[in-house]
Structure 1
Amino acid sequence: MTYNCFDIAEFFTKLAKEEGQGIDPMKLLKLTYIAHGWYLGITGKPLFHNQIQAWKYGSVIPDLYFPIKIFGKNNVDPYIFKLYTKNKLSKEDKDFLKKIWNNYKDFSGLQLSALTHEEGSPWSQVWDGNHNAIIENSIIKDYYEHKLND
């Protein structure tokens, strides 16, 4: 099933809260994007339907960015997603997201951003200084499939 980015972001904010950790907007954006990438690489299907763009500081999901930017450098509270979440995550997808969380939860937003800027990354392939360059799922899928085989 394809979700929306808010379903995924809400899940991560709830996990963070359960573990007594915070998750600021940058970390949440990057984590949601990275989860989408790995999901594409593993299943060949998108995790969510929202568009991803290449911005100066990396891959951004505009639909998620604008509602959570109000938190600034503070932790995002899961309540913000009540207006946006629509889908119940399957057990399999929750398990997948928990694995992503466990692998990346100790990274800061800046560290995750640096990962999205690596040479050959989808962002580096499309970034040309244009703030709204679309990163197609096919590019993301190819990149994460390649990472799986490394």
Structure 2
Amino acid sequence: MQRSVFDVAARLFRVSGRGEISAIKLEKLMYYIYGWYGRLTGEPLFRQQFYAMTYGPVVGDLLSLHSEQEVVSLELIEQVCATFEDAPLEDDFYLDQVVEAVWEYYGEIDQWDLVEMTHQEDPWIKAWEGREEGTRRSYLDSEDIIDFFLWRKMPPELFYLLPPPQIMPITAKGAEILETLGAEQGEKAREIFAQCGLVEA
């Protein structure tokens, strides 16, 4: 059973050690956790829908929970986790590592700087510019988020914080090279891709 955004938010609170996080910052951190998890696994982290809004990406169900509140409390997240339709999930050490890395890298960044960062990224730009005239939000495709993070340059500081990737995205050129190599040469292929700039060294 797939986890919910509320489960991920609860993990973030646990990692941060905070009892409250600003609503805007929480939404942006959910976006970055979702994106980097997608980069590492190629899979969506949770099923709840993202939207592009004035202050960047938001998760619709999470927004509904904290609507018109400037801060979100751990207590509120725990209450909704207790009543959410999903059964509680077992510990997920890999996800916890992603959450910890995102918190360490982004956690001290001002919420408005986080908003500005998301405004420079393709998923929000594409969704926001594609919205119907006069509307204040637009559907933000989760596949667009994952695809963007798969190919974006990873900051070196974050690279060393995140757990090892479970997948390795390659370009069309990389796929052609791979076709010419046997399975036993997988590590050698990895070195070749790195030398060609097709994957992270």
TM norm structure 1: 0.85
Deviation at 1:82, TM superposition (A): 2.2
Aligned residue type for 2:144: I
Deviation at 1:46, TM superposition (A): 0.8
Partner of 1:56: 54
Change (3 A) 1:77 1:121: same
Give the root-mean-square deviation of aligned CA atoms. Answer: 2.1
Of the candidates 77, 87, 90, which is equivalent to residue 89 of structure 2?
A: 87
The separation in 1 between residues aligned to 2:10 and 2:91, in whole angstroms, is: 11
Matches within 5 A, 1:38-77: 38-72=36-70, 74=71, 76-77=72-73
The separation in 2 between residues aligned to 1:7 and 1:145, in whole angstroms, is: 23
The separation in 2 between residues aligned to 1:33 and 1:138, in whole angstroms, is: 13
Partner of 1:123: 124
Partner of 1:107: 109
The separation in 2 between residues aligned to 1:58 and 1:96, in whole angstroms, is: 21
Aligned residue type for 1:66: S
Deviation at 1:60, TM superposition (A): 1.0
Cα contact 1:40–1:144 (8 A) shared by 2: yes
Partner of 2:144: 139
Moved more, 34-43 or 21-30: 21-30
Aligned length: 145
Deviation at 1:88, TM superposition (A): 3.8
The separation in 1 between residues aligned to 2:51 and 2:111, in whole angstroms, is: 17
Q: Secondary structure at the match of 1:6?
A: helix
TM norm structure 2: 0.65
Partner of 2:160: none
Q: Secondary structure at the match of 1:45?
A: coil
What percentage of residue pairs aligned between the two structures are identical? 25
The separation in 2 between residues aligned to 1:81 and 1:125, in whole angstroms, is: 30
* Structure 2 residue runs without a partner (length 5+): 82-87, 154-198
Deviation at 1:89, TM superposition (A): 4.0
Cα contact 2:44–2:142 (8 A) shared by 1: yes
Partner of 2:15: 15
Change (3 A) 1:105 1:29: same
The separation in 2 between residues aligned to 1:68 and 1:82, in whole angstroms, is: 13
The separation in 1 between residues aligned to 2:148 and 2:35, in whole angstroms, is: 8
Cα contact 1:2–1:46 (8 A) shared by 2: no
Cα contact 1:53–1:134 (8 A) shared by 2: yes
The separation in 2 between residues aligned to 1:63 and 1:38, in whole angstroms, is: 20
1:31-51 per-residue CA deviation (whole Å, 9 max, x = no partner) reads 011110111122110111100
